[in-house]
Chains A and B, each alone.
Chain A
Amino acid sequence: MAGQAIIDLEELYQQAPCGYFSLSPSGHIMKINRTLLDWLGYEQAELLDHKFSGLLSKGGQMHFEMFFWPMATVNKGVKEFSYEVLKKNGEGLPVLLNASAKLDQSKRLVAVNVVLTDITERKSFEKELLLSKKSAENEHKRLQFMADLVPEIIWTATPDGYIDYVNARFCQYFDCNGQDTRVSFIMSKVHADDRRALLADWRASMRTGEAFEKRIRLVDRDGLYEWHLLKAALFLDEEGQLTNWFGSCANIQQHVLDMKKKDDFINIASHELKTPITSLKGLLQILDRMKGDLSNKMVPGLIDKSNRNVNRINNLVADLLNASQLNDGQLHLNKSQFNFAELIGDYVHHIRIDRQYEIITEGDRSITVLADEGRMEQVLSNLITNAIKYAPDSMQIVIRLSRTPQGILLEIVDSGPGIPPEKLPHLFERYYQVSSQSAQYSGLGLGLYICAEIIRKHGGEIGAQSVLGEGSTFWFTLPA
């Protein structure tokens, strides 16, 4: 009784913060509350006895007829159907409809009562959410694209150290898919000698959160180990929360090899210099003992030998200087026109004097070139000395000079043991010696590198062919 006095149901209905309306079995509006009329901008008389579906777009009407209405009437209820209701001014109002059917005692449909909720704000929030989700996804894809593009292995790990992302290079290098990121899998790819130290450092960084750097060998899909520089750092987000470890593995195999070559080279160079210096030292000691008797008939021989050792030292130092000049791009050419055959003749004559080799020169004797004569002599000397040095049993060396459409071609042919094919491409690299037993041959291994640089500087090409057991041909061209 008190309730009746307090609550005015009709007033609640009219002023509710949602729309209410009731539809007849034919879909016509029988009752509608004030709130909804206000939202839509209609007067009650304009909507009563009109079909509710008239407030929907045509596609909406189809959906209403085929889904909403059968569901509301036969299924006795509809939950959260999303529609856009057209206001009187033509604007759309996004709404959710909840409906229930009212049946009479003989189960005949009397009405469908509908609750309408305005979801304009919710829709715009959801739209924003979707947009930001999409842009986050795009950003993620961009990063992934970038990570896949770099030639290094890139990965991320959870703060407690579990790898949760790897880039395309990772999968390619280890021949696996992006899911193979278990610690045991990765550790199986690390060289056994590097594993323990890596794990120790990794665990330490996990504890402290400090970035770390480590050189490790990783085995590739073909079973070859290559040196990598592993770097990892913990990414903190703007709130200072731990998010992820970001890591990379840069392949430093070439760098490590280069450093090793340089070390080897310094080793060789020291030995090479030490031999003539030791000889010179010995010779000088003998001469020192003879300084009272310079007329001793051994003296000229000793001086001669000393000179040869000094020349050798001089040549080695000159090679070193040349190589470092080439390295810095400081090789300057003094070009002049000269007869190439004459240059060969002079040089060969010089060698023939004290050697037993048969050196045959073939070709056009009238060919002249525009080149640095001194440098050309250096190249010639290197190639011929190499032929003699590396093919000691080859008693015959052929030097063939010919004209080509582009200029001249010089070939130096020996019939020595030949060079293994896998070594041919590296002959003209710095610090490279064909035989690993470098003690067998003297020299710094700089000769061919210097030749190649001189020829390239002249605009020519240089190369070598070889058949094991038959001999080698070194050649170069010079432009006309």
Chain B
Amino acid sequence: MDAIIKRNNVNVIGNGEQVILFAHGFGCDQHAWKFVIDAFTEDYKVVLFDYTGSGRSDLSQYDPAKYSNIDGYAQDILDVCQALDLRNVIFVGHSVSSMTGILAAIRHPEYFVKLVLIGPSPRYLNTENYTGGFEQKDLEVLFEFMENNYLGWSSAMAPAIMGNSDRPELGEFLTGSFCSTDPDVARDFARVTFMSDNRADLSKLTVPSLTLQCSNDIIAPLAVGEYVHRHTPGNEFLRLNAAGHCPHISEPEETIAAIRAFIQRN
């Protein structure tokens, strides 16, 4: 139990009985929820964690093979549930965590009572008869941006020019940052996220779920949200006024209200 709590930097806060498990999206860690969790700690037991390799998780536990597909991340969720002996969990997942939550709930439906999916996408790449929103070349640009921007432009260029591959400033950066992910892990995670195709899994979900669809979300456009809604049994669909991909950051109140309305209903 302690091993998992340390590995995934698990934090439990709040006074309630009912558990809400918040799972952060790609590129972030549990701090992404900081604008919304206060609204739930009064009535719920809020569980936060970082995926292995993200945030302040134990980087030494990161196994590239295990996390080479999205199932590895789904296992992190199940590990947290088992370590804390959680049942009837309300799961709130952002972005890629919508899919990891769905995969976890397919494998162990008994752990979950409801899923809230914020900006879900079962597949990001366009393909025949499916619009995910992205072409391969868009992703390559993203990966390049990630490379260049990991430590800021000058820190990214300096080692390339000066030939200093040790990057001693990395450790400093990792401890002080919000998106504190090891660059290699981040790159792997990006590929796992954006190359995944979980469309076939949607129909296997038996736990009731809610899709929260933002307006103008480039990462998970409306068509993708509607696809999730159509193919997932027992899925409700709600369009938010919040724009972008992070409504829990840009419009926390609207997001809180939407989650609350869904989870308080019997």
Contacts and interface: CB of A to CB of B under 8 A. Distances in A.
Interface size class of A (residues with CB under 8 A): 20 to 34
Interface string B196-225: 000000000000000000001111000000
A27 B177 contact: no
Nearest to B151: A80
A67 B153 contact: no
A53 B139 contact: no
B243 A74 contact: no
B145 A63 contact: yes
Given A65-B245, A66-B25, A59 B144 contact: yes
Given A58-B134, A61-B218, A129 B152 contact: no
A80 B155 CA distance: 9
B250 A81 contact: no
Given A59-B141, A119-B153, A67 B179 contact: yes
B223 to A, nearest CB: 15
A339 interface: no
Interface string B223-247: 0000000000000000000111110
A102 to B, nearest CB: 14
A285 interface: no
B149 A25 contact: no
Given A66-B25, A67-B27, A75 B218 contact: no
B218 A59 contact: no
The SS class assigned to the A binding surface is: helix
A109 B250 contact: yes
Contacts of B28: 66, 70
Interface string A41-79: 000000000010100011111110111011101110001
A69 B139 contact: no
Interface in B114-150: 134, 137-146, 148-149
A30 to B, nearest CB: 14
B44 interface: no
B154 interface: yes
Interface string A67-109: 1011101110001111100000000000010000000000001
A63 B146 contact: yes
Interface size class of B (residues with CB under 8 A): 35 or more
A80 B161 CA distance: 17
Contacts of A133: 161, 163
Given A70-B178, A70-B179, A62 B161 contact: no
Contact of B153 (A60, A70, A81): A81
A327 interface: no
A74 B34 contact: yes
B222 to A, nearest CB: 15
Contacts of A81: 149, 152-153
A400 B199 CA distance: 91
Nearest to B137: A59
Given A74-B249, A79-B152, A60 B145 contact: yes
B26 interface: yes
B12 interface: no
B160 interface: yes
A163 B110 CA distance: 69
Nearest to B156: A82
Nearest to A126: B157
A264 to B, nearest CB: 56
B66 interface: no
A69 B217 CA distance: 13
B32 interface: yes
Given A67-B146, A129-B161, A60 B250 contact: no
Contact of B142 (A62, A70, A82): A62
B258 to A, nearest CB: 16
Given A25-B250, A82-B153, A74 B161 contact: no
Given A80-B154, A130-B161, A58 B218 contact: yes
9 contacts: A27-B250, A58-B141, A61-B218, A63-B146, A65-B244, A70-B32, A71-B179, A82-B152, A130-B160
Interface of A: 25-28, 51, 53, 57-63, 65-67, 69-71, 73-75, 79-83, 96, 109, 119, 126, 129-130, 133
